[in-house]
């Protein structure tokens, strides 16, 4: 009975110590140097540095005007997309 209790205790201790070690972050002390034979550059992270381009005010007003015209005509789906595309090419004036 005493041996079974010791094994059970050891198993719980091992289980909890593994999960505790998995949650702690240890700083990396090793440095990696790029290989001289590498032919492709390393990928850069673009999630924090890329900003969406803001539309120019003229483009925004043309897009809104074309959208309002499409709403007035009651267009939906592909017909609306085609109308808006043609309208924006004409500078906000329906063809």
| Separation between Cα atoms, residue 82 and residue 80, nearest integer Å | 5
Per-block mean pLDDT, blocks of 10 residues, the chain (95 long) = 82 68 60 58 57 70 90 94 91 75
Q: Residue 74 falls within a domain, yes or no?
A: yes
pTM over 0.85: no
pLDDT at 83: 93
Which pLDDT does position 80 carry in this prediction? 94
- The per-residue pLDDT for 72 is 93
Q: How far is Cα 17 from Cα 14, in angstroms, rounded to an integer?
A: 5
Q: What does the block give as tokens for 89?
A: 């090419």
Domain that holds residue 77: 54-88
Angle between helices 57-73 and 77-89 (to 10 degrees): 140
Instruction: Flag whether 82 is in a domain.
Output: yes
Number of domains in the chain: 1
Burial class (CB within 10 angstroms; exposed 0-12, middle 13-18, buried 19+) of 94: middle
């Amino acid at each position: 009975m005493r041996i079974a209790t010791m094994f059970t205790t050891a198993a719980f201790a091992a289980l909890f110590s593994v999960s505790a070690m998995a949650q702690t972050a240890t700083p990396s002390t090793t440095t990696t140097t790029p290989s001289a034979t590498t032919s492709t550059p390393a990928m850069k992270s673009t999630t924090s540095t890329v900003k969406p381009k803001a539309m120019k005010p003229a483009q925004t007003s043309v897009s809104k005007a074309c959208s309002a015209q499409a709403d007035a005509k009651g267009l939906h789906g592909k017909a609306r997309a085609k109308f808006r595309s043609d309208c924006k090419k004409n500078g906000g004036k329906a063809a």
